[in-house]
Structure 1
Amino acid sequence: MPDQFVHSQRTSDPNSHPMIIVVGENPLARAVCDYLGAISVPDSLMSAHRFSGADVVVVAGYEANFAQRQRMDPQARAHRIHDRAFRTVYDAAACGVERIIVLSSAMMYGTTLHTTRQLPASRPDHLSWYDDSSPAAPPLTGFASDVALFEESFAQAVAQLPTGIARPAVTVLRAAAIVGGEVDTLVSRHFEAPRLLVIRGVERRWQLCHVEDLASAVRECVVNRVDGVVTVGAVRLENGQWVPDEQDSDVVAARAGTRVIAMSESAAFAMAQQLHRVGILPAPSSDLSFAVFPWVVFPRRLLELGWRPRYSSLECIDVLAQATKGRVGVGGRRFGGRDAAAAGAAGAAVAALATAAVWKQARAHR
């Protein structure tokens, strides 16, 4: 249910709600806009006055639109990302917007496989996480690099605002793997393969974030005027303490109604690299890291403000399984309906080809 959170703050009524504008027609922007009951402004509207009257502008630096990304020329895509960031900042500043909230991704941190940040000592496995204060370390190529480019361009635009123009306050929400609405991501594509790919010897821990929980985090940041970077993801209570809601691949696969297929790291990445080289996969093998290695966040600042997610990671898997029902990614391509020509994510392609190899070997032994 939308919160109907949006009214005008620029009135004499001190109890009125802030006016929120969500910019963009991408899946993530639409989902957040609908939940908040906010005003939608398209990216294509070329007007310096498009944010007039707004107190808060929300922009999806991470658009959760894998299909659109793969159709765009890399140079054209980079130019579009840079232009979106600068136009958003300059138009918001020109209209006197008080705050800009950037919807980003925890992919900005890279994967957590080799980090030293640990869960509380009560956890015997001492698995790692990221939180709001962790340094960003995104890969230089692939899906996550687009997110990094938007954040970098956005920061440059804010720093380069002309003297005399008030700088809006900035909040950056870096979310765990997003589900819900019509989002289309490399993680959701991973679940379209016949089997869920895992790397031998690597404990893949899954944490997800429903778009409604991301939208409620936006609301929390608006109400409490939260500045800086904030992480968002599913959490649970464990021994009276909040911890990231992580699930292992076997549990996730069972919940999604599929099974895992294990490959060595070298074989999986070599296959993904080869698929990219011959043009089957539009994204480089670096994207596979986010499908097979963990990237887990702890939303410390939001929890301290009293924010609580509505969806657990397993409930997010239910949403994801329903959304991908009837879609099959084979050889890096999605078959079914109008999506037959769309290339899938690296993980889906590798898992599909690995599954095919297993079936072929099984037939050969009969």
Structure 2
Amino acid sequence: MAGRQVRSGRSAPGPAADGSSHDVVVVGDGPVAEAVTAAWGPRARSLAEVPAQDPEGALTGASVVVLVAHPGRIDAVADHRGPQGHAAAVAHAQRTLSAARAVRAAHVVVVSSAVVHGAHPDRPTVHDDAALLAGRDAVRDGLVGHLLAVEAVVARHARRRAPLLTVLRPAAVAGGGVDSFVTRHFEAPRLLTVRGVERPWQLVHVEDVAAATVFVVEHGLTGPLTVGPPDVLTPAQVSAAAGLRTVDLPAATAFGAAERLHRVGVLPAPSVELSYVVYPWTVAADGLTAAGFVPERSSAQTLDALLEGVRGRLAVGGRRVGARDVAALGAAGAAVALLGTAAIWRQARRR
């Protein structure tokens, strides 16, 4: 990906040459794409996808194209495995970027996620120019694999001089109906933590991610940009706000359980996604902050929105918890926390 450039005083492009007021095309489906379309207002029109037949016609009149690669729905890509599983997404990204160039769009913005940088116990703060997962560390399944596959296409297009190209990589997105392995982490009766690891929590509201797509075009920012609020919550603050106790497991136990659940088909998402709810991956948002972008909502406020969204999703008080409940969660963190909680209950009964 090319380095970031800042063009001070640049304003968003005006109406298309044909007089259409819809000079912004938002490509994508799900809550993130819906928020982006709303942020652009009457200038924008939305497409679930750019069709294979006449893709240029679908983008005619667009001076700005926003490709929302982040679906914001856990079921959208959870069972996509390996290169073949992401082939359709790769072809669509290629088609969209080529069509945007053909219609001479001035700026293309791609909404990805900071998950492409990975999460691990000693993960430093993620800066805009941080390396992506690669080689043996690259994830091939689920959301992470999906976004890495799309970003590989974007990186090839970034070598060209036009159009301007920006990739937004937000921290954990919540609010506005976003349903992810992060949001579902809060649907278990206890929050999973890995023994010996302090996992800071940074959450960015989907509407702030959407606002960032407008900001980068208005300010002519290009290259990769991380997105997130400046405040970071401690596990104790998150637990207190959620009103949930934690279940603390050794890493081998937690990841082993997640892998077994995935192998037998209880969890559609790969066990590696557990990393993103137990290990750090906070972002610095260097370029956006330097240019003056400030998210309207803090991590604490976004956590409140997340908790409101999952309220009542799982009621386990007074009834047995079985495999069906685990499967309903769909996220490794919540499922492993559920199993860990069940183990604690069994130990308590024996005592």
Same fold (TM over 0.5): yes
Q: 1:192 corresponds to which residue? A: 187
The equivalent of 2:15 in structure 1 is 9
Distance in 1, matches of 2:121 and 2:198, equals 9
Kindly report which structure 2 residues correspond to 1:131-280, keeping only aligned pairs within 5 A, or say none: 131-137=127-133, 139-142=138-141, 143-157=143-157, 167-235=162-230, 245-280=231-266
Amino acid at match of 2:62: A
Q: What residue identity is the alignment partner of 2:274? A: L
Aligned match of 1:113: 121
Q: Secondary structure at the match of 1:274?
A: helix
CA distance in 2, matches of 1:144, 1:282: 13
**1:281 and 1:332 in contact (8 A); partners too:** no
Counterpart Cα distance in 1 of 2:79 and 2:311: 23
Give the secondary-structure state (helix, strand or coil) at the position aligned to 2:145. Answer: helix
Deviation at 1:27, TM superposition (A): 2.1
Shift, 1:17, TM fit: 9.1
Asked whether the equivalents of residues 8 and 54 of structure 1 are also in contact (C-alpha less than 8 Å), the reply is no
Unaligned runs of 5+ in 1: 116-127, 236-244, 336-340
Question: What's the TM-score, normalizing by structure 1?
Answer: 0.82
**Match runs of 1:23-38 below 5 Å:** 23-37=27-41, 38=44
1:84 is aligned to 2:79: no
Q: Give the one of 61, 71, 86 matched to 1:63.
A: 71
Q: Per-residue CA shift, 1:266-291, capped at 9, x if unaligned? A: 11111111111211112222111001
Q: Evaluate the alpha carbon distance shift between residue 331 and residue 351 of structure 1 in structure 2; reply closer, same or farther with a 3 A threshold.
A: farther
Distance (Å, rounded) in 2 between the aligned partners of 1:333 and 1:74: 27
Structure with the larger strand share: 1
Instruction: Name the SS of the counterpart of 2:112 in structure 1.
Output: strand
Q: Which residue of 1 aligns with 2:111?
A: 103
1:173 alignment partner, SS class: strand
Residues 116 and 148, structure 2, Cα contact 8 Å, conserved in 1: yes
Tell me how far apart the structure 2 counterparts of residues 137 and 223 of structure 1 sit (CA, whole Å): 30
Deviation at 1:207, TM superposition (A): 0.3
Aligned residue type for 2:33? A
Cα distance in 2 for partners of 1:358, 1:20 equals 53
Letter in 2 for 1:105: S
Q: Contact 1:332/1:346 (CA < 8 Å) preserved in 2? A: no
Shift of 1:332: 7.0
Scaled by the length of structure 2, what TM-score is found? Answer: 0.86
TM superposition shift of 1:156 = 3.1
Q: Distance in 1 between matches of 2:36 and 2:328?
A: 25
Computed over aligned residues only, the root mean square deviation of the Cα atoms, in angstroms, reads 2.6
Q: Matched residue of 2:204: which SS?
A: strand
Contact 2:32 2:210 in 1 (8 A): no
Give SS of 1:308's match. coil
- 3-state DSSP of counterpart to 2:39: helix
Counterpart-to-counterpart distance in 1, 2:325 and 2:215: 37
CA offsets 1:91-141 (integer angstroms, 9 cap, x no match): 1112111111010101111125324xxxxxxxxxxxx31111221226323
Q: 5+ unaligned residues in a row in structure 2: which ranges?
A: 1-10, 316-320
Shift of 1:10: 3.6
SS of residue paired to 1:58: strand
Percent of aligned positions that are identical: 38
State the shift of 1:175 in Å: 0.2
**Residue deviations 1:215-243 (CA, integer Å, cap 9, x gap):** 121111001111100010011xxxxxxxx
Deviations 1:65-94 (A, max 9, x none): 211223557666311111111111111112
2:307 is matched by which residue type in structure 1? A
Size of the aligned set, in residue pairs, is: 328
Distance 1:52 1:333 in 2: 47
The aligned counterpart of 2:8 is none
Q: Which has the higher contact order (CA 8 A, sep 6+)?
A: 2
Greater per-residue helix proportion: 2
Q: Distance in 1 between matches of 2:217 and 2:103?
A: 18
